[in-house]
Amino acid sequence: MNESQRTFAFLILAIISVAAARFAGPAVPKPVAEITDVGKLFYPDFTDADLAKSLQVTNYNAETAEVRPFGVVQGKDGLWRIPTRHNYPADGKDRLAKTATSMFAITREAFAGRRDNEHAEFGVIDPQSEGSHDLKGIGNRITLKDQSGKTLCDFIIGKEVKGRSGYFYLRRPDEKATYIAKLDIQVSTKFTDWIESDLLKIDGTRLTEIDIDTSSVDLEQGAVVEGDMSRLSRTGSNDPWKLQGLDEATEEVNQDEIRKLVSSLDDLKIVGVRQKPAKLMQSLREGILQRDQFTAMDLQEKGFFFAKDRKSNRSVLIPKDGQMTVITDQGIAYDLKFGDVFNGSETEVEVGFAAKDDATEKTPDATNSPQKSRYLFVLVHFNESSLGVKPVSPVKPEAPATESATPTNADPTDAATPANTADDLKKKYDDALNTYEADLSKYDSDLKSYEQKVKDGEKLVKEMNSRFADWYYVVSGESFENLRQGKKTLVKAKATDGQPADPAETSSPAN
């Protein structure tokens, strides 16, 4: 190429460069919001909180390095259950709706970072990811799904942003980028927040009888250690409680302690559950306590033992640490049997200790068990006698004889002559008949009312046995102590000569 050709080529290249620069214009960076989606919703398709039919929460406790899973699901049958707590029935509709509403329309307020190596700094490492338990900066993950299992929203919630109350680092598990969002999520992983924790649903005003047996089982001796037998009763809700066998000359019932006992029954709450073996569940639904080897072993692990009753010679269930029977004026008799002690963390109390295969429980380690609790076995039967006396039909009066009751030779003016004329007898009979018919009408009404009470009571017992049949319950150690009382607390020295009983004599601890 000669010199003139080379000059011409450079000229053409310069012209092309100028033209390209003119059409391209200056390089303008895109806005940050356009790159990072700041200001946009995390889940724009989540438009109806009522669609939420399941909740999965995975909480991480940094102090114990424990991942705490919790879930609530509505089944196809419309019932709510807690899969992470042995599928125990949940009262979840309102609480889940509240949680879903609090997770609705969460916005990406600000951009925090796009790299996954920043997740630990923000505390948004997925607690469900493999190997995350050995890392720092693990967050809490909350997932909502609809009836079909489609994800409505799924968040990993990290640390709260310093200096910005209510703002947290947040990311979707399917994204690397972390954002800042304002949160007020109303969610609880506490078992008792999701269930009907009032176990017995007893109305304390309807209690008519409380029988307490503080006998226990000595496992080393393989024998029952006899304890106190206390039978409390009253006629009506406003009547004072009476104690069978009380020495009324020197003792009286401690009504204040009994009020505390009734209050404890009325407010008895469960803190955990364990599922019973299938055969035991089925037999209890039918109102029978069936015994087989596997069932007996499972019961023994919880502190309940089969033994022969000395009086009936039948096989009965003996609890390790006493029992009580509570009867209401509806004819409902609750048999409460107190089994073995169970110590553990909150999660362990709720669901038990999982073995390596997550199928069975292992022996709790008392050194790492801050919460003392106890197994409770509940049976219900119908007690007709507590409904009161069954109405008795009145006796119809006999019609008087047709002859006059006045002797034929009697002098009507004689004061000693009885005035039992036919008219008198007929009047007395008519009055008696009117009374009988009124009594009969009342009897019919009372009998129908009584029979309805029997029907309602039997139905309620069946419903309760169906509810209690599947579960061993766990109650707090405090609840156990409040219920398993003996005569030392139920009885106090009687006041004499206008002087109150010595307070020191009425404050002894329960047996």
pLDDT at 386 over 70: yes
What does the pLDDT read at residue 70?
A: 92
What does the pLDDT read at residue 24?
A: 46
Q: What is the mean pLDDT of residues 76-85?
A: 90
Least confident of 112-116, 427-431, 492-496: 492-496
Question: How far lies 346's CA from each of 299, 350, 365, in Å?
Answer: 23, 6, 14
What does the pLDDT read at residue 218?
A: 84
Least confident of 33-42, 71-80, 161-170, 339-348: 33-42
pLDDT at 52 over 90: yes
* Short-list 97, 101, 96, 86, CA closest to 56: 96
Q: What is the mean pLDDT of residues 46-73?
A: 88
What does the pLDDT read at residue 160?
A: 95
pLDDT at 301 over 50: yes
Q: What is the mean pLDDT of residues 442-459?
A: 96
pLDDT at 264 over 60: yes
Q: What is the mean pLDDT of residues 201-212?
A: 93
Please indicate whether residue 500 or residue 509 has the higher confidence score (pLDDT): 500
Q: What is the DSSP string of 382-401?
A: E-GGGG-PPP-PPPPPPPPP
Going by pLDDT thresholds of 50, 70 and 90, the confidence category of residue 78 is confident
Going by pLDDT thresholds of 50, 70 and 90, the confidence category of residue 392 is very high
What does the pLDDT read at residue 437?
A: 94
Q: What is the model's pTM? A: 0.78
pLDDT in tens, 216-225: 888 887 778 8
pLDDT at 95 over 90: no
What does the pLDDT read at residue 109?
A: 95
Q: Which residues contact 466 (CB under 8 A, 6 or more apart)?
A: 285
Integer Cα distance of 92 and 158 in angstroms: 26
What does the pLDDT read at residue 425?
A: 87
Report the share of the chain in percent with pLDDT over 70: 81
| Average pLDDT along the chain | 83
Two structure tokens written together for 133: 């338990």
Integer Cα distance of 327 and 380 in angstroms: 10
What does the pLDDT read at residue 61?
A: 79
What does the pLDDT read at residue 181?
A: 97
pLDDT in tens, 453-462: 999 999 999 9
Least confident of 1-10, 130-139, 189-198, 493-502: 1-10
pLDDT at 399 over 90: no
Q: What is the mean pLDDT of residues 255-271?
A: 91
Q: What is the mean pLDDT of residues 477-491?
A: 88
Q: What is the DSSP string of 348-376?
A: HHHH----TTSSS-----GGG--EEEEEE
Question: How far lies 112's CA from each of 29, 118, 178, in Å?
Answer: 19, 9, 5
Please indicate whether residue 446 or residue 346 has the higher confidence score (pLDDT): 446
Q: What is the mean pLDDT of residues 155-176?
A: 95
Going by pLDDT thresholds of 50, 70 and 90, the confidence category of residue 14 is low
The CA-CA-CA angle for residues 486, 491, 492, to 5°, reads: 135
